[in-house]
């Protein structure tokens, strides 16, 4: 593995590249240049229904148009399901996973019943209720019977057990800032996520699992991304500990907002690079827009 600093820009090709992406890609490029390092491009396309080759082609074209360069080869996650499977097998051998059968509707009902009875149900940083984990206690036989019945299931991490098995406490080095200014040595709190999905019902991996596997396989030393993923780092650090993967440095940057103070999104066509280009902005104009909001 190279001893150069390795950065990566890792968009999901499930919509148009917008100004927020351009900002993140540019920041990665600038930081890699400053460190005389490398910047990789990774397409996080495990969701094979929402990610399309059309969006992917557009993203690559938009990045080219902006003049943001990366080192080849581009890694497409959908071509590496075997790598994620190996990591999943390892966690399975450590008995940290269980098959989870509840549908979204089941979870909603379960949580509504608890909350209706006056209990406060924990929610993750994105506001989703923690998985009830009813299958955690099932015997191997019960699990096998359910799997054998053909009912769709996801593999979930038993986060409490996982935390007990990993180093305690776990930290990361934050060179940027979290949503409320967190910086420096940050203590990971993976249990805020509850029992996350590591392999989905329809896809043999998940965002959390594939991102840590890829960052390690690609030798990424510096992760520069939006602070909407700041809390996800807690889960990534736990998985890195369990899988004995190296710890990258993290730099979360602020998110560009629209005129209403909302985070830019892929559905917000106005700030897509294509739209800006169609409105007559040059690549330099777009990069200047990114630069002008570049307080990191």
Contacts with ligand GLU by CB under 6 A lie at 10-12, 44, 211, 225, 229
Minimum Å gap between C-beta 227 and ligand GLU is 11
Minimum Å gap between C-beta 120 and ligand GLU is 30
Minimum Å gap between C-beta 236 and ligand GLU is 8
The residues with which 41 forms a beta bridge, in sequence order, are 9
Minimum Å gap between C-beta 62 and ligand GLU is 14
* Residue number, 12 or 205, with CB nearest to ligand GLU: 12
Rg over alpha carbons for the chain, rounded to the nearest Å, is: 20
* Residue number, 229 or 296, with CB nearest to ligand GLU: 229
Minimum Å gap between C-beta 285 and ligand GLU is 24
Minimum Å gap between C-beta 252 and ligand GLU is 10
In whole angstroms, how far apart are CA 95 and each of 62, 89, 244?
44, 10, 16
Cα–Cα distance for residue pair 25/283, rounded to 1 Å: 14
Asked if 102 and 131 touch (Cβ cutoff 8 Å), the reply is yes
* Residue number, 115 or 173, with CB nearest to ligand GLU: 173
* Residue number, 229 or 281, with CB nearest to ligand GLU: 229
* Residue number, 56 or 135, with CB nearest to ligand GLU: 56
Report residue 114 as tokens.
Answer: 């608890």
Minimum Å gap between C-beta 229 and ligand GLU is 5
Asked if 38 and 7 touch (Cβ cutoff 8 Å), the reply is yes
For residue 169, whether the previous peptide bond is cis, meaning omega lies within 30 degrees of 0, is: yes
Cα–Cα distance for residue pair 98/137, rounded to 1 Å: 9
* Residue number, 98 or 207, with CB nearest to ligand GLU: 207
DSSP3 helix / strand / coil % (the chain, rounded to 5): 45, 15, 40
170-174 long-range contacts, CB within 8 A, separation 24+: 170/234, 170/237, 170/238, 170/241, 171/237, 172/233, 172/237, 172/247, 172/249, 172/250, 173/247, 173/249, 173/250, 174/250, 174/251, 174/252
Burial of 52 (0-12, 13-18, 19+ CB in 10 A): middle
* Residue number, 44 or 62, with CB nearest to ligand GLU: 44
């Amino acid at each position: 593995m190279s001893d150069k600093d390795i950065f990566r820009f890792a968009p999901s090709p499930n919509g148009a590249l917008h100004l927020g992406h351009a900002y993140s890609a540019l920041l990665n490029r600038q930081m890699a240049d400053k460190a005389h390092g490398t910047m990789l491009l990774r397409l996080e396309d495990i969701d094979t229904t929402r990610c399309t080759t059309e969006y992917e082609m557009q993203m690559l074209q938009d990045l080219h148009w902006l003049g943001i360069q990366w080192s080849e080869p581009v890694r497409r996650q959908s071509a590496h399901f075997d790598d994620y499977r190996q990591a999943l097998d390892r966690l399975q051998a450590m008995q940290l996973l269980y098959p989870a059968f509840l549908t979204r509707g089941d979870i909603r009902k379960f949580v509504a019943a608890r909350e209706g009875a006056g209990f406060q149900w924990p929610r993750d940083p994105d506001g989703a209720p923690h998985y009830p984990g009813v299958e955690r206690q099932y015997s191997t036989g019960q699990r096998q019977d359910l799997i054998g019945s053909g009912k769709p299931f996801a593999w979930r991490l038993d986060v409490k057990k996982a935390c007990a098995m990993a180093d305690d406490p776990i930290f990361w080095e934050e060179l940027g800032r979290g949503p409320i200014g967190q910086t420096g040595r940050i203590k990971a709190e993976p249990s805020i996520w509850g029992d996350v999905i590591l392999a989905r019902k329809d896809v043999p991996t998940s965002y959390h699992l594939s991102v840590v596997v890829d960052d390690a396989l690609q030798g990424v030393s510096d992760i520069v991304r939006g602070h909407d993923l700041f809390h996800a780092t807690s889960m990534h650090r736990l998985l890195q500990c369990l899988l004995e993967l190296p710890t990258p440095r993290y730099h979360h940057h602020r998110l560009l907002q629209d005129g209403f103070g909302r985070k830019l999104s892929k559905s917000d066509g106005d700030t897509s690079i294509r739209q800006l280009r169609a409105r007559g902005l040059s690549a330099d104009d777009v990069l200047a827009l990114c630069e002008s909001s570049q307080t990191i």
